[in-house]
Amino acid sequence: MVETAAATPSNQNGSVVRAARRSPAAHLAGTFEAASLAGVAEIKEIPFQTMAGIRVQRDGDAGARVAAVSGGLPAACGEVVQNGGLSTLWLGPAEFLVIAPENAHASLGGDLLQALTEALGDGQGQVVDLSANRTIFELSGTKAREVLEKGCSLDLHPRAFKAGTAVSTEIGHIPAILWKSGEDTFQVLPRASFADFLGRWLVDGMREFASPEVP
């Protein structure tokens, strides 16, 4: 059975929310498409993901309860715990970022934030809705690392920066979270206010790879 958007009040509200939203880099969609070369260097925005900022002591009772909802909390810098559709990134000894699909947000009928808040309970810490705080750029292809290396001081060689690693860094002098989600795929998470600048910076870094190599 296929459900329609008008089937329930929740779906009606979700349709209104979706119609009203505009992502931080929506105006760059055409620029991203024109700058991309399949398999070499491609960029797209993955907008509207549900994001929850968590502060909690990982080894405490509250941390254990939160971990039961998120699927686990990373134990060390760079570590990412993935469970189903949830990804939890380590940002600090007691700070984490949970990323989930857009439908997990309360505005679209999801209950992730509520579940995390209830899990924290009266424990010391906080759960904050950061869904509008950042967007995600997916940069992929065999030259994706070379694009990032033009403005990121991290050692991004695969021997040092392995798939499944995420860290806070700067790219083009813009603070961002860099998550290597695959061997040639990176998720770049700038704050929404920096999305236009960083999106254009990444496109500029891709220009030398925009055409097939001439034999």
**What does the pLDDT look like over 153-193, one tens digit per residue?**
999 999 999 999 999 999 999 999 999 999 999 999 999 99
Its domain, for residue 198, covers: 24-47+135-215
Distance in angstroms (rounded) separating the CA atoms of residues 130 and 97:
9
85 lies in some domain: yes
99 lies in some domain: yes
Q: Which amino acid is at 155?
A: D
Last residue of a domain, one of 85, 116, 132: 132
Residues 119, 158 share a domain:
no
pLDDT reading at 3 higher than 80: no
Residues 163, 63 share a domain:
no
**What does the pLDDT look like over 18-64, one tens digit per residue?**
777 899 999 999 999 999 999 999 999 999 999 999 999 999 999 99
Mean pLDDT taken over the chain: 92
Residues 144, 169 share a domain:
yes
Last residue of a domain, one of 101, 132, 163: 132
179 lies in some domain: yes
Q: What is the CATH number of the domain that holds 60?
A: 3.30.70.1520
Contacts 24+ apart (CB under 8 A), 73-82: 77/167, 78/165, 78/166, 78/167, 79/164, 79/165, 79/166, 80/164, 80/165, 80/166, 80/179, 82/164
Residues 147, 204 share a domain:
yes
Query: What pLDDT band is residue 101 in, cutting at 50, 70 and 90?
Result: very high
Last residue of a domain, one of 78, 103, 132: 132
Tokens matching residue 158: 């695969």
Give the start-end residues of each E strand in the chain: 42-46, 50-56, 80-83, 86-92, 95-100, 125-129, 136-140, 165-171, 174-182, 185-190
CB 109 within 8 A of CB 97: no
- Number of domains the chain is built from: 2
Query: What pLDDT band is residue 4 in, cutting at 50, 70 and 90?
Result: very low
DSSP per-residue string spanning 60-78? SHHHHHHHHHHT----STT
CA–chain centroid gap for 188, Å, is 7
52 lies in some domain: yes
- Model pLDDT, residue 5: 39
CA–chain centroid gap for 185, Å, is 12
